């Protein structure tokens, strides 16, 4: 048993989502969004490096020594899997680990709305799940892939860095590839994917122009492609994809995206009002003809108006869902305000002092 495993067990027992290890500091948990310092002695550089290198392969150690940065996954038998990142910083070595639930939550258990479920039924096209780091994108994507796996006879190919949720074959055949371990990069894996007869492709991160271009091409040529970005609204997601391309290509990209984009899910995690858990707020956009026209005509600024009037079609703005959560007393006004896109409509719910401060900003 590696020395770090005891911390991972404690992490799970305490309900922490993340473990931070940094030279000169004691271990720190993130619990319900807050950083909690443990009552341990500070860790020195050499001590922490030895603890971390104990769970790495020779190849991973060599990669880290060269690049000073490493993404990887680590499993503790009978406990959980963890997504890790090791880095160098000015005091020495540091690392962050996030717990990956051992059980994939189904779409039903996650409470995914009908608009999101509809995205899993498409036979081809691009679906993008977005949100800041730690917003639960991986959990939502795993639930969507699990739904396809449970209901359709397909070949599902996932490209991840690192592998997070491990899927069992149900109705579908699943092949999961880890970047750096089973293939060189997202771009090279996507190029190879087109020769591997997939029906569904999941791209862990659409990081660069080449990966985005290949994902769009795969979606255009008859595959259902899921990808992630770090944007917080559907309109910004579309702008982000288009802005990656050189100006002289953007008109053509708009035309391609208007045809291939089937849906966008933007997600944020909020602390619950009782402080005991977290709840997801979602913006949902489906690629209707009206949305496609706005993408083609470079009028993405009008997309929120379309979403606002299409609730019956399964669409909703982030602020619409935040207001629902607030009125149902599932989150407090401060949390809703923090995550809101248009903060002014949430100011009346804030305590007087905070509302005055918000108005002054």
Q: Is the model's pLDDT at 140 over the cut of 60?
A: yes
- The string of DSSP letters for 20-81 reads EEETTS--EEEETTEEEE-SSPPPPHHHHHHHHHTTS-HHHHHHHHHHSEEEEEEEETTTEE
CA 207, distance to chain mean position in Å, is 13
Q: Is the model's pLDDT at 87 over the cut of 70?
A: yes
CA atoms within 13 A on the CB side of 344: 1
pLDDT digits (tens, 9 = 90+) for 303-348: 999 999 999 999 999 999 999 999 999 999 999 999 999 999 999 9
Average pLDDT for residues 282-303, to the nearest whole number? 98
**How would you write 183-235 as a 3-class SS string?**
ECCHHHHHHHHCCCCCCEEEECCCCCHHHHHHHHHHHHCCCEEEEEECCCCHH
**If pLDDT is split at 50, 70 and 90, which confidence band does 219 have?**
very high
Which residues does residue 316 pair with via DSSP β-bridges, in sequence order?
Answer: 284
Check residue 245 and give its pLDDT: 98
pLDDT digits (tens, 9 = 90+) for 49-63: 999 999 999 999 999
Average pLDDT for residues 223-246, to the nearest whole number? 98
Q: For residue 9, what is the enclosing H or E element?
A: helix 5-14
pLDDT digits (tens, 9 = 90+) for 158-208: 999 989 899 999 999 999 999 988 999 999 999 999 999 999 999 998 989
Over its C-alpha atoms, the chain yields an Rg (Å, rounded) of 21
Angstrom distance (rounded) from CA 20 to CA 29: 6
Average pLDDT for residues 139-160, to the nearest whole number? 98
5-100 under CATH 3.10.129.10, yes or no:
no
pLDDT digits (tens, 9 = 90+) for 247-270: 999 999 999 999 999 999 999 999
Check residue 314 and give its pLDDT: 97
Q: How many CB atoms lie within 10 A of CB 255?
A: 13
**If pLDDT is split at 50, 70 and 90, which confidence band does 102 have?**
confident
**If pLDDT is split at 50, 70 and 90, which confidence band does 32 have?**
confident
107-345 under CATH 2.40.40.20, yes or no:
no
Check residue 216 and give its pLDDT: 97
8 Å CB contact between 26 and 40: yes
Q: Domain coordinates of the chain in residue numbers?
A: 5-100, 107-345
Check residue 354 and give its pLDDT: 64
**If pLDDT is split at 50, 70 and 90, which confidence band does 273 have?**
very high
Q: Is the model's pLDDT at 118 over the cut of 70?
A: yes
Give the residue with greater pLDDT, 78 vs 3.
3
Query: Are both 5-100 and 107-345 of the same fold?
Result: no
**If pLDDT is split at 50, 70 and 90, which confidence band does 134 have?**
confident
**If pLDDT is split at 50, 70 and 90, which confidence band does 358 have?**
low
pTM comes to: 0.88
Q: Is the model's pLDDT at 96 over the cut of 80?
A: yes
8 Å CB contact between 264 and 130: yes
Q: What tokens appear for 7 in the block?
A: 């911390």
Residue 158 Cα distances to 9, 10, 201, 299, 341, angstroms: 28, 31, 6, 33, 32
Check residue 352 and give its pLDDT: 73
Q: Is the model's pLDDT at 97 over the cut of 70?
A: yes
**If pLDDT is split at 50, 70 and 90, which confidence band does 356 have?**
low
Percentage of the chain lying above the pLDDT 90 cut? 90
Angstrom distance (rounded) from CA 154 to CA 171: 7
């Amino acid at each position: 048993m590696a020395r770090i495993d005891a911390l991972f067990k404690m992490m799970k027992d305490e309900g922490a989502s993340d473990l931070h290890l940094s030279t000169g500091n004691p271990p720190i948990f993130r619990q319900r969004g807050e950083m909690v310092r443990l009552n341990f002695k500070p860790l020195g550089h050499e001590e922490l490096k030895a603890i971390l290198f104990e769970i790495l392969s020779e190849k991973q150690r060599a990669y880290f020594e060269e690049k000073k940065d490493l993404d990887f996954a680590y499993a503790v038998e009978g406990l959980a899997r963890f997504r890790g990142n090791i880095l160098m910083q000015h005091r020495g070595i540091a690392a962050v680990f996030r717990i990956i639930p051992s059980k994939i939550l189904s779409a039903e258990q996650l409470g995914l709305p009908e608009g999101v479920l509809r995205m899993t039924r498409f036979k081809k096209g691009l679906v993008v799940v977005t949100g800041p780091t730690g917003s639960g994108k991986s959990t939502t994507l795993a639930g969507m892939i699990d739904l396809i796996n449970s209901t359709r006879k397909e070949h599902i190919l996932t490209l991840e860095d690192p592998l997070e949720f491990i899927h069992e074959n149900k109705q579908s055949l699943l092949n999961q590839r880890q970047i750096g371990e089973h293939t060189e990069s997202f771009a090279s894996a996507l190029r190879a994917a087109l020769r591997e007869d997939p029906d569904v492709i999941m791209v862990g991160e659409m990081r660069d122009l080449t990966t985005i271009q290949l994902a769009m091409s795969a979606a255009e040529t008859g595959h259902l492609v899921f990808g992630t970005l770090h944007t917080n609204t559907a309109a910004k997601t579309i702008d982000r994809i288009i802005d990656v391309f050189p100006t002289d290509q953007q008109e053509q990209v708009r035309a391609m995206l208007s045809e291939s984009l089937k849906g966008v899910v933007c997600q944020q995690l909020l602390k619950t009002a009782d402080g005991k858990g977290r709840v997801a707020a979602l913006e949902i956009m489906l690629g209707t003809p009206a949305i496609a026209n706005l993408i083609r005509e470079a009028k993405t600024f009008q997309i929120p108006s379309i979403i606002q009037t299409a609730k019956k079609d399964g669409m909703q703005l982030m602020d619409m869902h935040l207001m629902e959560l607030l009125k149902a007393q599932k989150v407090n006004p401060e949390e809703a305000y923090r995550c809101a896109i248009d903060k002014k409509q949430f100011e009346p719910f804030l305590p007087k002092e905070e509302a005055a401060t918000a108005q002054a900003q």
